[in-house]
Amino acid sequence: MSEPRVLVLYYSMYGHVETLAKAVVEGVAEAGGAPTIGRVPELMPAEMLEKSGAKTELAGDVIEPEALAGFDALVVGTPTRFGNMCAQMRNFFDRCGPLWQKGALEGKPGSVFTSSNTQHGGQETTIISTQITLLHLGMVVVGLPYGYQGMMSVDEVAGCSPYGASTIAGPDGKRRPSPLELQGARFQGRRVTKIAGRLSG
Ligand SMILES: Cc1cc2nc3c(=O)[nH]c(=O)nc-3n(C[C@H](O)[C@H](O)[C@H](O)COP(=O)(O)O)c2cc1C
């Protein structure tokens, strides 16, 4: 096949997931894929976003569910919210019924990454529970294997697990994704792209 078309679809309020999404995009391009970065629609009122100090400029256009059919792979980025995906991402998936009915995503790779404030605040449950939705859509779930050697490091506090890339924003949200975490996100982008190429080839 020619370049696998990979959609990196995310929601981000304070930019951590956005930064990881950009690193996934880099990984897709490094592996010879054609990346698109996109956001799910916002559900919070503008005044509430402003009060919460949400980021106003975010990378990529807002994507609607029907667009998913035009991609060979999907990489989903969501903040951890009570150990689960955020409502904006849940709502997007809840609008994917017609795609599910047509089997439009069956056999395509799907992968997940996340950000949380705390180190053990539910990153793994967020990624795994999001993977359940991808499985219902018929996707081939792709994680982040130990081929990404950075995952073995215990020299510093770091996200990333065999389930997917992640970052830890810290209790005040001020910590930014570290070089190690960004490496993990790029690795995940490369892996999804390579698998998309093999599955469609
Ligand atoms: C409603 C809500 C629930 C949250 N739940 C968790 C949680 O379960 N564990 C955790 O460590 N952080 C939690 N957080 C913090 C977010 O994960 C954090 O703001 C996010 O990772 C930042 O990503 P972003 O910069 O891309 O928006 C929660 C935040 C909100 C607003």
User: What CATH number did the domain enclosing 87 receive?
Assistant: 3.40.50.360
Atom of ligand 1 nearest to the CA of 84: 8
Instruction: Say if ligand 1 is within 6 A of residue 117 CB.
Output: yes
Please choose, from the candidates 81, 96, 98, 7, the residue with its C-alpha nearest in 3D space to the C-alpha of residue 44.
81
Percent of the chain, pLDDT > 90?
98
Task: Give yes or no for residue 158 having a pLDDT over 70.
Answer: yes
Task: Give yes or no for residue 201 having a pLDDT over 90.
Answer: no
How far from 185 is each of 40, 45, 49, 111, 115, CA to CA, in Å?
A: 19, 30, 27, 11, 11
Atom of ligand 1 nearest to the CA of 11: 26
- DSSP-derived letter for residue 151 is G
pLDDT at residue 1 in the model: 61
Instruction: Domain of residue 85: give its range.
Output: 5-200
Beta strands 73-79 and 109-116 are parallel
Task: Give yes or no for residue 55 having a pLDDT over 80.
Answer: yes
Task: Give yes or no for residue 33 having a pLDDT over 90.
Answer: yes
Q: Report the domain count for the chain.
A: 1
pLDDT at residue 17 in the model: 99
The rounded Å distance from CA 132 to ligand 1 centre is: 20
The rounded Å distance from CA 1 to ligand 1 centre is: 38
The rounded Å distance from CA 183 to ligand 1 centre is: 22
Q: Contact at 8 Å (CB) between 79 and 16?
A: yes
